[in-house]
Copies of this chain bind each other. A is one copy, B any other.
Amino acid sequence: MKQQRVLILGGGFAGLECAKGFPEERFSVTLVDRWNHHLFQPLLYQVATGGLAMTDIAQPLRSILSDYKNVTTLMDEVQRIDLDARQVHLKEQVLEYDYLVIALGAKTGYFGHNEWAAHTLGLKSLDDAMKIRKQVLLAFEQAECSNDPQTTARLLTMVIVGGGPTGVEMAGSLAELAQQVLKEDFRRIDPCQAKIHLIEAGPKLLATFPGGLPDYASKHLEYLGVTVHLNTSVKEVGAGYVITGDQRIETDTVIWAAGVEASGITRTLAGIPLDRAGRIQVQPDLSLPGHPEVFAAGDLVALTDAKGVRVPGVSPAAIQMGRFIARTILNEGMSVPRSSFTYLDKGTMATIGRSAAVVSFAGMHLRGMLAWLMWLFVHLLFLMGMRNRAIVFLHWVWSYITWQRGARIIQP
């Protein structure tokens, strides 16, 4: 029997789960990613703030797929998808497929203000996280070297734009870095004088969280020393400043956690409907309109599922989509009609700082220590690889006891 060729673009949660779903005899699978690793994005902010090493939250794709002998992993970059010819043009080669799965993920989005990208730091990739770490740690180092109070003040002011989970987690982690981790280590400056601003356009933080959780998040961040600005839009970002409605903030460090848009490749797909953020408006079975052999999965998909739920861009949704697509392709020969994807909401959580998190899960709203322990447990569970779990756990226990962080290294 001729093997069917499945080509998967992207080694995130969606692509990886999909790649694992095919029996060896019938399918030859190729997974393409522009990096050699799968990245656990939910812990990216801890790499950015010196808590974890970059290798702790990344796993080589080909080592994850080592036992799947029908899966070939290629580190290469997608240049163009030719839906009609059923070909994908990579930098190094052209690949043909019987089934294609587009799971290239999302990138930082600026709502049309792409010129702000030059003055801000996103948080979607390892590269982003390493840049933030370098920028933040260098700011403190430069402040210690500076003799000009105005420069020092600018260096020690950091702005985070966007009050979703990423923004909240970054703000809490940066505040604890300045207030606790660094406090004994400088002689000329007082790191506790650092100002952390969190700017949110809407009326509350963590807008998708229910009940009193958003309010708790605001209060706890303020307690950690973060200045929370609600109902505040960014008007302009330039070299050394941010302008909001009523304020100009002098800063060299602007972290942009306000929006994402789909990978640029979606805009090159002729005739495929997209939403404003470039996400593919897929069919109920996650295939592309007019192309039943092409699927999309993960956070470059815009879908309201069979139950009327808008599927969020989170890793459980990506995992579910990846598995769903593999099952759909497996069933193709069996003359069962394709089913429609439904998202199973497993709850949502965000950490705010040491011993504080918010969790919304099965109708319960949790906050504080218990929520924080749940957050730790779930994140360890979803992290790939026992070694990474053991090392991240060790980092966390160590940090909890000593108030220190293990990765405060400015990379060359």
Contact = CB atoms under 8 A, between A and B. Distances in A.
A355 interface: no
A36 B394 contact: no
A92 B145 contact: yes
| Interface core residue of A63, A130, A186 (most chain B CB under 10 Å) | A63
A37 interface: yes
A208 interface: no
Given A92-B145, A387-B404, A391-B394, A35 B188 contact: no
A412 B137 contact: no
Interface in A241-272: none
A411 interface: yes
A411 B126 CA distance: 8
Interface stretch (A70-78, A209-217, A376-384): A70-78
A188 B72 contact: yes
Interface string A169-205: 0000000000000001111100000000000000000
A62 B387 contact: no
Contact of A408 (B36, B146, B408): B36
Given A60-B409, A391-B406, A185 B66 contact: yes
Given A185-B62, A394-B391, A406-B391, A74 B411 contact: no
A394 B410 CA distance: 24
A412 B184 contact: no
Interface string A126-151: 11001000000110011011110000
A252 to B, nearest CB: 15
A335 interface: no
A395 B58 CA distance: 15
Interface stretch (A14-22, A49-57, A278-286): A49-57
A398 interface: yes
B63 A185 contact: yes
A142 B91 CA distance: 11
A407 interface: yes
A35 B387 contact: no
Contacts of A66: 184-185
A109 to B, nearest CB: 20
A406 B387 contact: yes
Contacts of A188: 72
Contacts of A398: 387, 390
A114 interface: no
A125 to B, nearest CB: 6
Nearest to A399: B387
Q: Most B CB atoms within 10 A — which of A74, A141, A146?
A: A141
Contacts of A67: 184
A103 to B, nearest CB: 19
A187 B74 CA distance: 10
A54 B411 contact: yes
Given A76-B145, A387-B406, 11 more contacts: A37-B410, A63-B408, A66-B185, A69-B187, A72-B144, A72-B188, A73-B185, A73-B187, A130-B412, A387-B395, A390-B394
27 contacts: A35-B412, A36-B410, A53-B53, A53-B54, A53-B55, A54-B409, A55-B406, A55-B409, A62-B185, A62-B186, A63-B185, A65-B185, A69-B187, A74-B145, A75-B144, A75-B145, A92-B142, A92-B145, A92-B146, A93-B145, A125-B412, A126-B412, A130-B412, A387-B398, A387-B404, A387-B406, A388-B406
